Chains A and B, each alone.
Chain A
Amino acid sequence: MIRTENIFKSFDENEVLKGITTEFYKGKTNLIIGRSGAGKTVLLKILVGLFQPTSGKVFYDNTDFFDLNKKQVRSIRMKVGMLFQASALFDSMTVEENIRFPLDMFTTMTKKEKLDRVNYCLERVSLGGVNAKYPSEISGGMQKRVGIARAIVLDPQYLFCDEPNSGLDPKTALVIDELIRDITIENNITTIINTHDMNSVMEIGDNILLLYQGKVAWQGNNTEVLHSDNEILQDFIFASPFLQRLRKAALEKQG
């Protein structure tokens, strides 16, 4: 579980986050949604420790992250996996080398054990046999899956995904969503996803946090999205007349 307490973040005069207090639950896919500029990426970067909040606290299972020394931060980070928007795969390394990198850096596993672990992770994301390819030789969707394989190679307890579906077609986006949800449930980890994708919200949104102008505007799950009267949420999720009609139809069907 990850908890934030009154997070504020400013860049010079620009206050991006204005007192975010929330919880992200273990074994669930926690989604951060909101319009561009709402502060989603800043919040995600604060959660993983890439940005320091101006004030406020982040707790990893009751451990105050920003109160830790370098060694303790490193030990927390060993439990963190992250999928980046553009995958952030190392171009000069093959797929296998990319996934093996954390193992090479932090474990004392033998070569065979590392290879077995890499192959397991690749199989887990349905990419067996692409070990020798370079990131530039595989598609965007495959790069995302390699990114997921690298993120889970050290068996993380916390998985962060920054816009996992950006630039992907709807079908591939669904595959990625399902993969992330399955990994979350299988390993009982805390997964936090920063997304714009409404399919993701409705499919895998166990706990959804809507940010609006740097504040939490709404929090709930994918079932509650349909029934909520929150105007900011409805404006954001059902932005087009087509989606508004769909929502109406769904509500009528449910009686």
Chain B
Amino acid sequence: MLFSKILNHLGRYVMMMGTAISRPERFSMYYKETMRQMIDIGIGSLVIVGLISIFIGAVTAVQFAYQLDGTLVPRYYIGYIVRDSTIIELAPTITCLVLAGKVGSNIAAEIGGMRQKEHIDAMEIMGVNTAAYLITPKLLAALVVIPMLVALAAFISIIGGYLASVPAGLMSDAEYVQGLRSFFLARNINLMFVKSAVFAFILTTVSSYQGYYVKGGSIELGKASTNAVVFSDILILLADYMIAVLFT
């Protein structure tokens, strides 16, 4: 029963994406919508991403300073740990989990609301490919903007680690910078961008799916919005594990 339900959802998701990825009726309309989505997702998420990132960096630095205190591990390692844990794991994963909550629920509610108010039917009757018009601009915008947000999150996290450790006297300015500059692997940056693109795809399309097929009233819309966040989060963590296995 559960298996057939999962297969049913998977089939509808694939069909929706098949319809969504097709030639636009008019490029200018899709371009305009993509720009609007970039502003919504990008600018609209700057504050929350900035806030969580600074704390992620700060907590990582303080926690590792505590763990390594009294050991033979050099203190500059804290900078190195903050940098790598942020770039490889915390910035892409935590940022995208938070964005699944903020952007994903918003996408599900927006598309679901349009379904309930017959806006999608109205567009269908006009001859608009609604899956393409409603989902593709969001997907393109997310694929461009979310990796940028993740890169910004990594940068702010590193600053957060600095602010939590250097002024507090956990280490010197020079030690933190030395840590940041040690053992750097460029492929970790690639890994961060791969993760953020995959997570962006998941959170946008899963949320769109939840909204696009919503039925019923406001309770169902609320459920769709919640499901968008829950399923996006689960799939992001699953994808995170798979990418980790594949790339390391």
| A associates with B | yes
A interface, CB within 8 angstroms of B: 48-50, 73-75, 77-78, 80-82, 84-86, 88, 90-91, 101-102, 104-106, 154, 160
B125 contacts A104, CB within 8 Å? Answer: no
B181 located at the interface, meaning its Cβ lies under 8 Å from any Cβ of chain A in the complex: no
Tell me which of B62-70, B83-91, B116-124, B145-153 binds A: B116-124
B128 contacts A105, CB within 8 Å? Answer: yes
Q: How far is the CA of A105 from the CA of B118 in the complex (A)?
A: 18
B124 contacts A50, CB within 8 Å? Answer: yes
A77 contacts B126, CB within 8 Å? Answer: yes
Chain B residue at minimum C-beta to C-beta distance from A85: B118
A80 contacts B125, CB within 8 Å? Answer: yes
Q: How far is the CA of A86 from the CA of B121 in the complex (A)?
A: 12
A105 contacts B117, CB within 8 Å? Answer: no
**Chain B interface bracket (under 10, 10 to 19, 20 to 34, 35 or more):** 10 to 19
B127 located at the interface, meaning its Cβ lies under 8 Å from any Cβ of chain A in the complex: yes
B220 located at the interface, meaning its Cβ lies under 8 Å from any Cβ of chain A in the complex: no
A50 contacts B121, CB within 8 Å? Answer: yes
Main secondary structure, interface of A, reads mixed
Tell me which residues across on chain B come within 8 A of A75, comparing CB atoms. Answer: 127
A50 contacts B125, CB within 8 Å? Answer: yes
Tell me which residues across on chain A come within 8 A of B125, comparing CB atoms. Answer: 48-50, 77, 80-82, 160
Tell me which residues across on chain B come within 8 A of A78, comparing CB atoms. Answer: 126-127
Tell me which residues across on chain A come within 8 A of B122, comparing CB atoms. Answer: 82, 84, 88
By CB atoms of chain B within 10 A, which of A50, A85, A105, A106 has the most? A105
A86 in complex: contacting residue of B28, B118, B127, B128, CB < 8 Å: B118
**How close is B9's CB to chain A, nearest CB, in angstroms?**
19
Interface residues of B in 66-123 (CB under 8 A from A): 117-119, 121-122
B26 located at the interface, meaning its Cβ lies under 8 Å from any Cβ of chain A in the complex: yes
B51 located at the interface, meaning its Cβ lies under 8 Å from any Cβ of chain A in the complex: no
B121 in complex: contacting residue of A73, A88, A101, A102, CB < 8 Å: A88
Given contacts A74-B127, A78-B127, A105 and B121 within 8 Å (CB-CB): no
A88 contacts B117, CB within 8 Å? Answer: yes
Tell me which residues across on chain B come within 8 A of A74, comparing CB atoms. Answer: 127
B26 contacts A105, CB within 8 Å? Answer: yes
**How close is B126's CB to chain A, nearest CB, in angstroms?**
5
**How close is A83's CB to chain B, nearest CB, in angstroms?**
9
A84 contacts B26, CB within 8 Å? Answer: no
B121 contacts A84, CB within 8 Å? Answer: yes
**How close is B133's CB to chain A, nearest CB, in angstroms?**
8
B238 located at the interface, meaning its Cβ lies under 8 Å from any Cβ of chain A in the complex: no
Chain B residue at minimum C-beta to C-beta distance from A48: B125
B46 located at the interface, meaning its Cβ lies under 8 Å from any Cβ of chain A in the complex: no
Q: Could you list 17 further interchain pairs (A-B, Cβ under 8 angstroms) beyond the known A77-B127, A101-B126? A: A49-B125, A75-B127, A77-B125, A84-B121, A85-B118, A86-B117, A86-B118, A88-B117, A88-B119, A104-B26, A104-B28, A104-B29, A105-B26, A105-B126, A105-B128, A106-B127, A160-B125
Chain A residue at minimum C-beta to C-beta distance from B30: A105
**How close is A110's CB to chain B, nearest CB, in angstroms?**
13
**How close is A144's CB to chain B, nearest CB, in angstroms?**
13
Chain A residue at minimum C-beta to C-beta distance from B32: A104
By CB atoms of chain B within 10 A, which of A77, A85, A88, A101 has the most? A88
Chain B residue at minimum C-beta to C-beta distance from A73: B127
Chain B residue at minimum C-beta to C-beta distance from A82: B125
Interface residues of B in 25-81 (CB under 8 A from A): 25-26, 28-29
Tell me which residues across on chain B come within 8 A of A49, comparing CB atoms. Answer: 124-125
**How close is B102's CB to chain A, nearest CB, in angstroms?**
19
Q: How far is the CA of A75 from the CA of B127 in the complex (A)?
A: 8
A-B contact pairs, 6 of them (CB 8 A): A50-B121, A50-B125, A78-B127, A88-B117, A90-B119, A160-B125
Q: How far is the CA of A90 from the CA of B126 in the complex (A)?
A: 13
Interface residues of B in 186-237 (CB under 8 A from A): none
Given contacts A77-B127, A82-B125, A106 and B25 within 8 Å (CB-CB): yes
Chain A residue at minimum C-beta to C-beta distance from B122: A88
By CB atoms of chain B within 10 A, which of A49, A80, A106 has the most? A106
**How close is A71's CB to chain B, nearest CB, in angstroms?**
10
Q: How far is the CA of A77 from the CA of B128 in the complex (A)?
A: 9
